[in-house]
Structures are given as structure tokens and as C-alpha cells.
Amino acid sequence: MKKIAILGSTGSIGTQTLEVVENQGDIEVTALAAGSNIRLLEEQIRKFRPKIVCVFEEEKAKELKESVRDLTVRVVSGMEGLIEAAVEETSEIVVTAVVGMIGIRPTIAAMEAGKDIALANKETLVTAGHIIMPLAKKMGVRILPVDSEHSAIFQCLNGENKGSVHKILLTASGGPFRGKTREELKNVKVEDALNHPNWAMGRKITIDSSTMVNKGLEVMEAKWLFGVQMDQVQVVIQPKSIIHSMVEFEDGAVMAQMGTPDMKLPIQYALYYPERRYLKGDRLDFWSIGQINFEKPDLVNFPGLKLAYEAGCAGGTLPTVFNAANEKAVAKFLNREITYLTITDMIEGAMNGHTVKENPTVEEILDAEAAAYEYIESRW
Ligand SMILES: NC(=O)C1=CN([C@@H]2O[C@H](COP(=O)(O)OP(=O)(O)OC[C@H]3O[C@@H](n4cnc5c(N)ncnc54)[C@H](OP(=O)(O)O)[C@@H]3O)[C@@H](O)[C@H]2O)C=CC1
Ligand SMILES: CC(=O)[C@@H](O)[C@H](O)COP(=O)(O)O
Ligand SMILES: [Mn+2]
């Protein structure tokens, strides 16, 4: 039996990971973690019987502890608890499906404990890639991409010499507002931005897709995962999300990975790599698809992608500021405290006011995060 821990088990990636576990029937779930959703977490505990469970919010953890008194599961809380869940001794793979930079410490702890990482939590790699990638090498652990585009690239690179990659063609749907101008985006409502054309995902990443910030984070994620330069990653809009990404090699050959938009494929591929297993679900029907269209991204009306290239090229603490400002801004937008266009204004403002620190430690990354938050709170 393969043994896995899932950090963020109550979210979109977490629940789909558990669907894969259930469908395959030969994976043991050793640890689960969530922020506060103890109702769903209790259901998951009763079904999958993990040894340890973390609820980040202490009060909720106490509540959960009471309701699972009849079981032997250990319930922990806070960052210490999240790290305990990440390093549970029998796990082989830790699925990082928490949202945001909160994933940095548990991911590092899991790697230091010798676990492979099935990485969905892109914010960790964007902000701490210079720590994560060398640590993976040092510990001999694998970073298995779960993000659909990065899984696609990983699949295209199977059996290939990484040195012969010319460029990565990172596909983007363009989100619900593709083709709109800033003027037309002024009065966008939360509900409009949450209406992704192809994917059902968590709220934060869905807003990121609409602003193209998700694609910006993914360009930086690709840089770290595949050891390429920022300018070797070209974003291509492909509105139907059926080409999940492509790789162009030195000889001009382009390999693409295609499929219906279903995260269970990259999740399952990461858990069983290099094995491919049957996955039930719709298949692409090329006769009915007819056409696949491509567009250039619009960096003027969607400045989030341009800012991400700036952050990724500068490196150091600037990707953290880009990411942290976005996390704060999206939370405020979802809370209806700011307008839609203010999201990227906040990112730009925070980046402009920041002095980059090269090669930051985890503490310095967290300081840069706090500084970005403070900047936003003081200006907006
Ligand atoms: N959804 C998708 O299809 C894709 C997602 N990703 C990436 O995967 C990650 C997860 O995204 P998604 O599943 O959509 O997000 P969701 O918002 O759906 O889920 C987030 C999960 O993280 C948990 N969580 C939040 N804060 C904490 C905390 N402090 N401690 C422990 N757990 C916490 C939540 O718990 P609770 O429910 O209790 O709040 C929930 O289980 C993100 O980094 C995203 O960018 C990448 C590609 C595709
Ligand atoms: C499913 C997944 O990996 C998301 O990151 C998805 O790519 C979002 O779609 P767009 O950002 O391309 O709209
Ligand atoms: Mn993606």
C-alpha cells in the first residue's frame, strides 16, 4: 500500500485526491490537514482513518477532538500541528493542497523528513523555490507536479533530455474575462470572477485565473520545476483548456499533453508516477472539438502577468511580494472590500515600494510577506 498525507484535504485538490484514493483502493491515508472545515474533515477521518489530523484553528481542533473521541486519531492544531501532519513517519508522499504561502514550512519539513511532494500549492514554489529545489536534490526526494500545466510539461518531458528544451508553452484559458478591456472590468462582481469557463476550483485560484495572476504564478512555478529561464516560458491562450501545456525542443519538435479538464488526472499521475492507471471520466472527442484556437495574452488589460514576469526575473523577495500582495488583495476582493481592478493595483504598488533581498531565508520570505501585507493595510 502506498501511504500519503494530504495537507488541505477539504479543498478542491484535497477532495479530488481522496476521490483518486477511493477509486484506486490501494493507497493508505496517513495524515490529513485543513484550516477550519471540521464537518468535512470528520467525514474524511471516519472514511479514510488517518493516524493524525491537523485543524489549523485551535478552537475547531478542540471541537473535532471531542467528536472523534471514539477513534484513535490524534488531533493537532496550528503551524506546529500542520508540520506534525506533514512529517507523519509512515507517509511516502505528501500532497500539498493548502492554498497560499502557509504551505512553505510544512513542505520544507516534509522534504527534510524524506517525503516526496505531490505539489499543488504553487505559492510555496513561487516564493521559496530557491530553497525547495536544492533541498529536494539534497534529500533525494521528488517534487511531483500536480498543477495541470506543470503535470503536462512533466509528461511531455518523460524520457527526454531536459537540456534539449528550447521553450515551454504554458497554456492559459484566459479566464472568464478574456477579451475584455480595463474599462469593462471596472465593475466586475465577485460572482462574475468566480465563474471560470472550464475548471471548478477553490475561490482564490479561480480569482487568480480571472486576473491572469494564476498564469504569472505558474510561469515562476515552471521556472523552478523545470530549471528554465523566465523568458523560456511563453504563455499561450487556449480558451478550451484541452491542451494542458506544451514543450518545444531544440529541433523544433513540439510535444503537447491533452485531455479533458479534470484535475484527477494530474493528481493520479503524481501519486503513481511513472505508472499510468485507468481513470474514469470523459475523453476528448476530436471530431466534435473541431477546432483548437490560440491567442496572445493581453498584458495591458491583464497586468498581473506582466508583473509576474517582472517579479520572476528580479527574483529574491520580489516573487514573495507579488504573491503576498495578491493573496491579501484577493481575500479583500472576495470580502467585497475592494474593487476588482484594485487587485493588480495593490500588487504593483507593493512591488514598487519593495527593496529586493537576494536569496532570502524562510524568515526573510515571511518578513517580506508581512511587509507586503502592511503596505496594503496602510494604503487601502
Ligand atoms: N483547485 C484546483 O483545481 C487547482 C489548485 N491548485 C493549487 O492547489 C492549492 C489548493 O487549491 P484549492 O484546492 O483550489 O483550494 P481550496 O480553497 O479549495 O482548498 C484549500 C485547502 O487548504 C486548507 N487550508 C487553508 N488554510 C489552511 C491552514 N492554515 N492550515 C491547513 N489547511 C489550510 C483548506 O481548509 P478549509 O477547507 O478548512 O478552509 C482547504 O482544505 C492552491 O495553491 C492552488 O493554487 C493548482 C492547480 C489546480
Ligand atoms: C486546473 C489548473 O491547473 C488551474 O491552474 C488552471 O490552469 C486555471 O486555468 P487558467 O489559469 O488557465 O484560467
Ligand atoms: Mn494550473
pLDDT digits (tens, 9 = 90+) for 39-94: 999 999 999 999 999 999 999 999 999 999 999 999 999 999 999 999 999 999 99
Predicted local confidence at residue 345, as pLDDT: 98
Q: How far apart are CA 87 and CA 122, in angstroms?
A: 20
Nearest CA to ligand 1 atom 27: 35
Of 9, 12, 153, the residue with max ligand 1 atoms within 8 A of its CB, to mutate for a pocket test, comes to: 12
pTM passes above 0.95: yes
What are the distances in angstroms from CA 23 to CA 17, 18, 29, 191, 265? 10, 8, 13, 32, 12
Strands 74-77 and 254-258: unpaired
263: Cβ below 6 Å to ligand 2? yes
**Interval between CA 90 and ligand 2 midpoint (Å):** 32
> Does the structure show a pLDDT above 90 at 194?
yes
Predicted local confidence at residue 370, as pLDDT: 98
Contact 114, 25 (CB under 8 A): no
Contact 61, 75 (CB under 8 A): yes
Name the pLDDT band for 380 (thresholds 50, 70, 90): confident
Paired residues of 28 in beta bridges:
3
Mean residue pLDDT across the chain: 98
Name the pLDDT band for 335 (thresholds 50, 70, 90): very high
Among the bound ligands, name the one nearest to the CA of residue 196.
2
Name the pLDDT band for 356 (thresholds 50, 70, 90): very high
131 phi and psi, to 5 degrees? -100, -45
Cα–Cα nearest to 228, from 275, 161, 286, 165: 165
| In the chain, domain spans | 2-145, 151-314, 315-379
Question: How many CB atoms neighbour CB 151 within 10 A?
Answer: 27
**Interval between CA 254 and ligand 1 midpoint (Å):** 32
Atom of ligand 1 nearest to the CA of 9: 41
> Does the structure show a pLDDT above 90 at 270?
yes
Of 201, 206, 215, 262, the residue with max ligand 1 atoms within 8 A of its CB, to mutate for a pocket test, comes to: 201
**Interval between CA 80 and ligand 2 midpoint (Å):** 31
Cα–Cα nearest to 50, from 32, 23, 70: 32
The CATH code for residues 2-145 is 3.40.50.720
- For residue 264, give the amino acid letter: K
| Helices of type H across the chain | 12-24, 38-48, 58-67, 78-86, 104-112, 122-139, 148-156, 182-185, 190-193, 203-211, 213-226, 264-272, 286-289, 303-314, 318-334, 342-352, 362-379
Nearest CA to ligand 2 atom 2: 148
Q: How far apart are CA 154 and CA 241, in angstroms?
A: 17
Binding annotation for NADPH: 10-13, 35, 37, 121, 123, 202
What is 315-379's CATH number, 3.10.180.10, 1.10.1740.10, 3.30.70.20, 2.40.128.110?
Answer: 1.10.1740.10
Predicted local confidence at residue 367, as pLDDT: 98
> Does the structure show a pLDDT above 90 at 371?
yes
280: left (phi over 0), alpha (psi -120 to 50) or beta: beta
173: Cβ below 6 Å to ligand 2? yes
Note whether ipTM > 0.95 here.
yes
Predicted local confidence at residue 316, as pLDDT: 98
pLDDT, tens digit (0-9, with 9 covering 90-100), for 316-329: 999 999 999 999 99
Question: How many CB atoms neighbour CB 87 within 10 A?
Answer: 19
Which residues hold their Cβ within 5 A of ligand 3, which is an ion? Answer: 147-149
Atom of ligand 2 nearest to the CA of 175: 13
Distance spanning both ends of the chain, measured CA to CA: 51
Atom of ligand 2 nearest to the CA of 244: 7
Nearest CA to ligand 2 atom 3: 148
pLDDT, tens digit (0-9, with 9 covering 90-100), for 1-50: 999 999 999 999 999 999 999 999 999 999 999 999 999 999 999 999 99
